[in-house]
Each structure stands twice: as C-alpha cells, then as structure tokens.
A and B are shown apart, each in its own frame.
Chain A
Amino acid sequence: MKLKFGVVVFPGSNCDHDSYHVLKHVLEQETVYLWHKDTDLQKCDVIILPGGFSYGDYIRTGAVAKLSPIMNLVIDFANKGGIVFGICNGFQILTESGLLPGALIKNKNIKFVCKDIYVTAVNGTSLLTKSLQKKTLMTPIAHGDGNYFTNDETLKSLEQNDQILFKYSSSNGEITDECNPNGSIGNIAGIMNKNGNVFGMMPHPERSSDGLLGKTDGLQIFNSLLTNFIK
C-alpha cells in the first residue's frame, strides 16, 4: 500500500532528511516536509516527528517545539486516531505535548551517547512491531536526554496496557542493566499511547534503513507500519 508521510521540520531538526530519504527513496512512499509553522497537514496518513535539537533543546528537550503552530494540528490528528511517530527528539516532543506519558531526562551517566545498540520488541501486536522479522534489532542511538522516566503508577499502566514497544537489550535479546545506555526505567526504549496510534522511540530506525550504510534492521519497523496500516 502507498501511504503519504509528512516529516515535520522544526528549527533544529537534523534527522528530517534521513527520515525523508528512507520513506521516499528506500520505501518509495509519497513523502513531504511539513514546516513547523504550517497550518495544514496536507492529508498525510502518517506524521513523523524527526530527531534533532528543536529550538536548541532550550528549557527542556521538546518544550518549545510543542508550542509550534503545527503541533496543534498534530495533536488534533492524533486525537482523531491519526498515526504519529516520534523518533528521538520527536519522542521528547510527544511526551512534552502530553501525547505520550512520561518524560525523557538527562542520561544517567550525563554523557551524550552515540552508538549502535540493540533493542528487543516486547510488544508483538502494535503497528510498528507486529510484522518484525526478528524481535531484536540493531539501531543507532544519539542522545543526551534519553533517560525515560515515569512514576510507578504510569509504568504499571504502560505494562498493563501493553504500551511498551522496545526495551534496550543485548544482541540476543537479554534485557539487562548493562545493556541500558541511558538509565531508562525498565530499559524502556520506545512506547505507544493507549490507543496504539502515537509512537515514540529514542533509537533511530531511519539511520539503519539503507543497505548502503551496512545496517537495515530499522527498515523492519517502517515495513511493519506499511504492512499493518489500515487506510
């Protein structure tokens, strides 16, 4: 199925072109950029909030981006069941907007971590994970504020509602403290909302989706979305 993707560009986004490239040239989907001041989502089926450092990450990551004019439309779109996928800074913007629970705080070791790591899908029914060919995927991370935090009550609710998508793990799927690159509670690397239409993850699947780069595990996540999207 051909879908129309909209990649939102905030001042300071820097993974917008990577996302656009994968969607448009690798997956051959109709893809447009949406400027953060736009007042029209151009009838996109899926909205991508890409990685980067929107507004310099000032105040808190995603705190100013959530106030951009396009976010009113994105929130409305999400509340009506539209698919929204936030990657890295996009995930931070989604938690700041209240579309996803919890917050992303400074990495436990205070370092900006940029490396390839493994995540294991712990939810097998979501749009992004239903059709994965393997559960454990190698994906790059690059963030200073990726330490997912939430209170015990919200964590319990995430678990009960099967909203946790990915956890940091070893290459063979073991979820251990040693494999947690940022101190995230419960090794959480990605979650979705209760309705299963808003997704956020710190790892960058768009950076491991083109064979030219020597890694393609991330493509499975986008392919799962394409396979399971119901128009």
Chain B
Amino acid sequence: MFKAKVIVKRKKSILDPQGKAAEHGAVLLGFKNITNVRIDKQVEFLVNVSDLETAKQEVSEFCAKLLSNPSMEDFQITLDKVDEA
C-alpha cells in the first residue's frame, strides 16, 4: 500500500488571487520580506496496490482526470510505501 501526497499548483503564468490577498495581508501585518505567495492544494490518500509503477500510473491518471485541470494547473506526486492498515 502507498500513501500518496499530491500537490496541485496553479500554473505560474496564471494569477493566483488568493496568494495575492495573502501577500497583501503580509504587508498589512508589517512583513517586508514576503513576496510571491502562491496558495496550492494538497490532497492525501492511500493507494491499495503493492507495486510502485501501478500506483504511479493510477495516481497520475486520477490527477489528470479529476484533481487538476491541465489547462490551468500542474501536479506533483509523492508516493510512500506504508504498512497495510
């Protein structure tokens, strides 16, 4: 079994209004060194297979078909082997 951690990031060319708002908040709080705030999504789940390649393939497909929208987002996958629950 694998524990999958997926980070879905808005493409760099796309404005991230939430990140901009957080950046503005940082200015209001008096932080002078915080820039380029981007707010991404992190999704965690278990993949009930024993083989890494199968897990990679299934998770990539899940990311491409649902967790991300390829026209505006990219994704990164981390897979860690865990003991059976």
Contact = CB atoms under 8 A, between A and B. Distances in A.
Interface SS majority for chain A: loop
Contacts of B14: 105, 149
Given A63-B66, A67-B66, A150 B71 contact: yes
B21 interface: yes
Interface in B1-53: 10, 13-15, 17-18, 20-21
A95 B67 CA distance: 15
Contacts of B18: 106, 110
A103 B21 contact: no
Contact of B69 (A64, A96, A110, A151): A96
A103 B15 contact: no
| Interface range on chain A (Cβ under 8 Å from partner) | 20 to 34
A183 interface: yes
A110 B15 contact: no
B72 interface: yes
Contacts of B72: 103, 105, 149
Q: Considering the complex of A and B, which 5 residue pairs feature the smallest CB-CB distances, nearest first?
A: A103-B72, A110-B17, A103-B71, A106-B17, A110-B21
A103 B72 CA distance: 7
A14 to B, nearest CB: 23
A89 to B, nearest CB: 15
A108 B18 CA distance: 9
A103 B13 CA distance: 14
10 contacts: A59-B66, A63-B66, A63-B69, A103-B72, A105-B14, A110-B18, A110-B20, A149-B14, A150-B71, A183-B15
Given A95-B71, A147-B17, A183-B17, 7 more contacts: A64-B66, A67-B66, A96-B69, A102-B71, A105-B72, A110-B21, A149-B14
Interface of A: 59-60, 63-64, 67, 95-96, 101-103, 105-110, 147, 149-151, 183
Nearest to B72: A103
- Report the interface size class on chain B: 10 to 19
Nearest to A62: B69
Contacts of B69: 60, 63, 96, 103
B73 to A, nearest CB: 8
B68 to A, nearest CB: 8
Contacts of A110: 17-18, 20-21
Interface in B51-85: 66-67, 69, 71-72
Contacts of B66: 59, 63-64, 67
A106 B38 CA distance: 13
Nearest to B20: A110
A147 B66 CA distance: 20
B23 to A, nearest CB: 12
B13 to A, nearest CB: 8
A79 to B, nearest CB: 19
A172 B56 CA distance: 54
